Structure 1
Amino acid sequence: MPTVPAPTIETDYLIIGAGAVGMAFADTMLDEDPDAHITLVDRHAKPGGHWNDAYPFVALHQPASYYGLNSTPLGNNQIDTDGPNKGYYELATGTEVCAYYERVMNTRFLPSGRVAYLPMTDYLGNHRISGILSGEERAVKVRRKVVDATYYNTSVPATHTRRFTVAQGTQIAIPNDLPGLWMRSNEIPAHYAILGAGKTAMDVAVWLLRSGVPQDNITWVRPRETWMFNRANTQSGPAFFEQLMQAQLTLMNAVADAETADDLFLKLERDDFMLRIDPDVLPTKFHFPVISHGELELLRSVKNVVRMGRLTAIAPGELMFPTGTVAVPENTLFVDCTATAVAVRETRPQFEDGLITLQMMHVPLVALNAAVAAFIEANFDNDADKNTLGEVSAFVDSAHEYPIALLTTTMNRIRWSMSKPISDWLAKSRLDPAGPLIASLPKGDPRFALLGKVQDATRAALPNLHRLAALGALPAAPQDRSR
């Protein structure tokens, strides 16, 4: 008998990806357009995107208070009282984040009757989808737009492809494997080699040290040093208002005076806004990691650091680089932390006929970006106006490029402040660290004076920020972009 074609699905917005970006867009669209029907497709079995693949001890870099979805708080809005994050708002764990997205899907999205969720489903392009397990292909009639929430192709150690070779007999793991080492208690490694210099590698180093591994039993391969935000300056909530505004003032004053991007970072380091692990090595990398002084102190305790560029191969007892070989103990467990969380891609218009490609407007707040994009889509009429309100920035890779992202973010914030619909929405959005804080100030509050200083400093910094961004767009000195 001939196969009966699967029925066509109809929807207004077909969202590719049910992770942090796709869920944030859908959540805001549900509130802003009561007539919109949304279909989310994702390869994972549960909502949450890459969080489903992350290592068990992963946690947010930023406070949980402004991550996730605009409709639903994440966490308990509490201050940590011990550990490296002591004194700051809680950082939701990966397990908590996954449970959060699943809960919102089951208690808000699906009961609305306006959301269809298709897990374990691949988007084939041209409005066609395929069940990963069944292989069944279906057409989707999209009445409005496809929403690509996967443009940055988020990668984690469990899903990425290694760029170095592994000799037979080499002990290699990904961070996901580490908590299970207790099951091989008779074969605990004598030494650990952390491969990579990004936030995942930092998390692994902190986890090993806090699990009791002596610092001398860790070798850390860091192809590039990285700048990091001081988490003290990323807090939200009334108790941190002055600190948050003072941090913004510090940033803009440094921008106004900086000669180069390196000079900008050094000025910000002087003011405890930016941090680095090794004070004797100038970082060239910047992926917007956030860290506390408590974590930094732990990371600095690891003294066996290898800086020989990109790793090409590993073998029992050996790390191999283009310029030479470094010996490590024979019973070393190599921990692969070389996945790049976000692919560096060229930008494209965010709003096009039949297509929305979700990208960065306020770097690096991915959830806020997607929610703002949904608000703009629902409340403005044509794509040209929408793109003007939401200029996009590439997710930068190097310190040299940071002013480009900072300029885009600053200009978008100015545009949004001049749009009453957007500014009113931001004033109530839990995803915006500053908007609700500023809106909550009573008339005549003396803290408005500090806000005025920030606004004045921003205006004064803009000419030099444009100049620094232009320098950032020029080719930088060649560098190894490995982790």
Structure 2
Amino acid sequence: MPQQLEADYLIIGTGAMGMAFVDVLLSETDASIIMVDKHHKAGGHWNVAYPFVTLHQPSTFYGVSSKELSKGRIDQTGLNKGLADLASGAEVSAYFDEVMRHTFLPSGRVQYYPMCQYEGDGRFTSLTSGDAYQVTARKTVDATWLKTSTPSTHTPGFDIAEEAWFMPPNDLARIDRQPEGYVVIGGGKTGIDTCLWLLENRVDPDKIRWIMPRDGWLLDRRNTQTAPEFFNYALGAQASQMEAVGASESIEDMFDRLESAGVLLRIDTSVRPKMFHGATISQLELEELRKIKNIIRMGRLQKLENNRLVLDDGEVPTSPDYLHIDCSASAVENMEICAIFQDDLIVPQTVRPYQPVFSAAFIAHVEATYGDDEEKKNGICNVVPLPNHDTDWIKMQTLFMMNQYNWSRDPEIRNWLYHNRLDGFTQLVQDVKEDETDKIEILQRLRANAVPAMAKLQQYVASLG
């Protein structure tokens, strides 16, 4: 017979979203909580991340609300020089472990079951002992809905010859012989990180082949900074974005204007991007990536054979002396959306672009504040779908602006946003003083162009069906 457990909330997953959700429950309710996860410690996919991974966004608004992750410094060296620090994967993993051990568990209200497989309907089983458990909970929170995928755990979508030299980026730091060349498979965030790691480790750019099924639009990381000294970049970019969208005459023209305004970037200015995943990049990183000239744009890899790469639209020679690095895993495997609040089930998803941990914290606050009014809670927490194609940027921005407008009309939510460190920008805006005329001018530009931009976005959404 399974052991019987009881709690107010059963949390499935102790990754970033699960941790951010529970952190707010602990601070804003007196709920009891059971947390279940298949990993040996909190942090979700950070437990199996490649060794050179870092955050793509500033550490200042990542993690849980109650504990700072950032060291509060500006990087003085490296490709992120001049910008707020980016926590490494090891730092993020240690951070979540510390939050669990020194904040959650000492509260006396959290029971934690690592190394356990959740089987549904409140049942889970220990992967180490085989012990079975049955939980009776008032509500279940599925913090695994987005199904984060990592290079070391996913199954490649192409055939691999036994003779091929092939590995995930996790194993790169352990190679013991020099390859004749490198083939980076995948054009997303992991591919970018891997190419930059190779270049930083003095690999000749001409020895790198980069399989890029789709070029992507990128965000300038300078525009994501939350420190007051970056106000003109962060809020200036938002104002320029509104102006670009509002003045555009077509979707293509809109992207051209966004690029001219410095809102969006691309690696190769001669190739039209078809992808947008919200990856951020510094100008120094962009300069490095442009050194790689051997970009293979023949669609996705179908077969990695001993002496050739078979792609959708052609073939490229290779050899067992080339190291092939699998960066093809999608960061998020489940792009389906559903209602966040479903009676006794809560499914955290993104309610603000690029910020899953903020979204989870905000959803927990709404749960704590508005009780069992499912309609009201879902009205506040409209899902902003994760982007994939370039035009998904349009839908994402439309829903984001709708959420922001609704939140701005609620004094309680405005107050919470101001005081929550994961928000990033509300405090930056509200702390502008009357004599800071340059900042006031930026905010006036932003507000003046918000309505025309929204009208144009809705027009484009309608044209996309």
Taking the aligned partners of 1:422 and 1:18, their CA distance within structure 2 comes to 26
* Secondary structure at 1:233 match in 2: helix
1:465 aligns with 2:457: yes
Taking the aligned partners of 2:394 and 2:312, their CA distance within structure 1 comes to 32
Most deviating of 438-447 and 46-55: 438-447
The 5 A counterparts of 1:434-453 are 434-442=425-433, 445-446=436-437, 447-453=439-445
The 5 A counterparts of 1:247-258 are 247-258=237-248
Residue 96 of structure 1 corresponds to which residue in structure 2?
Answer: 91
- Pick aligned residue for 2:17 from 9, 21, 29: 21
- Pick aligned residue for 1:238 from 228, 237, 243: 228
Please list the CA deviations of residues 175-202 of structure 1 after superposition, one character each: whole Å capped at 9, or x if unmatched. 0001112xx2xx3211110000001001
Taking the aligned partners of 1:116 and 1:260, their CA distance within structure 2 comes to 53
The one-letter amino acid of 1:20's match is A
Taking the aligned partners of 1:23 and 1:122, their CA distance within structure 2 comes to 18
- Pick aligned residue for 2:366 from 376, 391, 394: 376
1:272 aligns with 2:262: yes
* Secondary structure at 2:184 match in 1: strand
Taking the aligned partners of 2:269 and 2:307, their CA distance within structure 1 comes to 29
Residue 3 of structure 2 corresponds to which residue in structure 1?
Answer: 7
* Secondary structure at 1:286 match in 2: strand
Counterpart contact for 1:360–1:394, Cα < 8 Å: yes
The structure-2 alpha-carbon separation of the partners of 1:242 and 1:141, relative to structure 1 and needing over 3 Å to count, comes to: same
Most deviating of 386-395 and 323-332: 323-332
Taking the aligned partners of 2:35 and 2:443, their CA distance within structure 1 comes to 40
Counterpart contact for 1:21–1:367, Cα < 8 Å: yes
TM-score by length of 1: 0.93
Taking the aligned partners of 1:133 and 1:264, their CA distance within structure 2 comes to 54
Residue 164 of structure 1 corresponds to which residue in structure 2?
Answer: 158
Unaligned segments of structure 2, at least 5 residues: none
Shift of the alpha carbon at 1:290? 0.3
Taking the aligned partners of 1:258 and 1:126, their CA distance within structure 2 comes to 50
The 5 A counterparts of 1:182-221 are 184=176, 187-221=177-211
Taking the aligned partners of 1:260 and 1:341, their CA distance within structure 2 comes to 30
Counterpart contact for 1:227–1:285, Cα < 8 Å: yes
Shift of the alpha carbon at 1:259? 3.4
Taking the aligned partners of 2:252 and 2:280, their CA distance within structure 1 comes to 18
1:432 aligns with 2:427: no
Taking the aligned partners of 2:123 and 2:415, their CA distance within structure 1 comes to 38
Shift of the alpha carbon at 1:416? 0.8
Taking the aligned partners of 1:321 and 1:219, their CA distance within structure 2 comes to 14
Please list the CA deviations of residues 227-252 of structure 1 after superposition, one character each: whole Å capped at 9, or x if unmatched. 10011111111111222111110111
Residue 285 of structure 1 corresponds to which residue in structure 2?
Answer: 275
Shift of the alpha carbon at 1:329? 4.5
- Pick aligned residue for 1:261 from 232, 237, 251: 251
Shift of the alpha carbon at 1:444? 5.7
Residue 293 of structure 2 corresponds to which residue in structure 1?
Answer: 303
Taking the aligned partners of 2:134 and 2:345, their CA distance within structure 1 comes to 17
The one-letter amino acid of 1:462's match is M
Shift of the alpha carbon at 1:470? 2.5
Residue 353 of structure 1 corresponds to which residue in structure 2?
Answer: 343
Please list the CA deviations of residues 308-340 of structure 1 after superposition, one character each: whole Å capped at 9, or x if unmatched. 111100123311123331113441010000000
Counterpart contact for 1:70–1:429, Cα < 8 Å: yes
- Pick aligned residue for 2:148 from 135, 154, 163: 154
The one-letter amino acid of 1:142's match is A
- Pick aligned residue for 2:388 from 397, 417, 421: 397
Shift of the alpha carbon at 1:114? 1.0
Shift of the alpha carbon at 1:258? 2.5
1:111 aligns with 2:106: yes
Shift of the alpha carbon at 1:449? 4.0
1:454 aligns with 2:446: yes
Taking the aligned partners of 2:367 and 2:252, their CA distance within structure 1 comes to 37
The one-letter amino acid of 1:364's match is Y
The 5 A counterparts of 1:4-153 are 5-33=1-29, 35-143=30-138, 145-153=139-147
Please list the CA deviations of residues 395-417 of structure 1 after superposition, one character each: whole Å capped at 9, or x if unmatched. 12101121111111111111111
Shift of the alpha carbon at 1:360? 1.3
Root-mean-square deviation (CA, aligned residues, Å) is: 1.4
Counterpart contact for 2:145–2:334, Cα < 8 Å: no
Taking the aligned partners of 2:108 and 2:320, their CA distance within structure 1 comes to 58
1:225 aligns with 2:219: no
1:420 aligns with 2:416: no
The one-letter amino acid of 2:432's match is L
Counterpart contact for 1:228–1:288, Cα < 8 Å: yes
Taking the aligned partners of 2:3 and 2:162, their CA distance within structure 1 comes to 49
Residue 410 of structure 1 corresponds to which residue in structure 2?
Answer: 401
Residue 331 of structure 1 corresponds to which residue in structure 2?
Answer: 321
Counterpart contact for 2:418–2:427, Cα < 8 Å: yes
Query: Following superposition, which runs of at least 4 residues in structure 1 exceed 6 angstroms of deviation?
Result: none
Taking the aligned partners of 1:41 and 1:333, their CA distance within structure 2 comes to 38
Residue 180 of structure 1 corresponds to which residue in structure 2?
Answer: 174
Shift of the alpha carbon at 1:132? 1.6
* Secondary structure at 1:39 match in 2: strand
* Secondary structure at 1:370 match in 2: helix
Most deviating of 253-262 and 301-310: 253-262
Shift of the alpha carbon at 1:36? 0.7
The one-letter amino acid of 2:24's match is T
Counterpart contact for 1:41–1:123, Cα < 8 Å: yes
Please list the CA deviations of residues 345-390 of structure 1 after superposition, one character each: whole Å capped at 9, or x if unmatched. 2211111100111111101211110010000000013010000011
Most deviating of 92-101 and 395-404: 395-404
Counterpart contact for 2:147–2:334, Cα < 8 Å: no
Counterpart contact for 1:427–1:438, Cα < 8 Å: no
The one-letter amino acid of 2:199's match is L
